[in-house]
Structure 1
Amino acid sequence: MSVTLTDAAASRIATILAEKADMHALRISVEGGGCSGFSYKYELVAEQNADDLVIEKNGARVLIDSTSLPFMDGAEINFVDNLMGQAFEINNPNASSSCGCGTSFSI
């Protein structure tokens, strides 16, 4: 299973982690809920779990737990900065639909 990280996302994550000396990674997980059935949760963490997928790129470190990974297999994590604002965006081929906020999806 694989998840990729764009250069823009890696740059933003590395910047965030550099400002938080006690945090070493961004954990992205999938939880039940949200307006479309599932939602992404973003959390800065100090430690990784033994079963985490670890993605490292250009000073960024992302962790995805083994329960969330099947929902995110093949996904691309991006960071967008446009007139609408700044946000992490996950392009997930497993999602059959998503809501307008971009943080929840259905399979």
Structure 2
Amino acid sequence: MDSTSKPTTVNDLILAVLHDARLSAEEKRVLIDEIRKNNPGTADRWTYRWAIYILGGVAAMTVIGLILIASWNLTAPDGLVAIGSASIGGLAGLLAPSMSKSSA
């Protein structure tokens, strides 16, 4: 990013602050902290964490349940398999790296 263009992403804004020679190191630290606090993508990390915990727990309980059902020589209900598959798919969707417009 050259000095005449305006920052378009949060990372561009952080880089602009880092490369601004008029700011002291303390001012840069404070500004970057404020930028990070106001970034809606990282503002609520606990939402993602709880989603991962819950989906992981559902997936683990499903696997345990399917193992127990198989050990008792019973037929596993299709709904249980669907719930396990959906929770693993949800985990994959949350944990997979997202494609950004610049890398496409």
> TM-score band (shorter)?
under 0.3
Q: Which has the higher contact order (CA 8 A, sep 6+)?
A: 1
TM-score, normalised to structure 1, is 0.23
When you count helix as a share of all residues, which structure comes out higher? Answer: 2
TM-score, normalised to structure 2, is 0.23
Bigger-Rg structure (1/2): 2
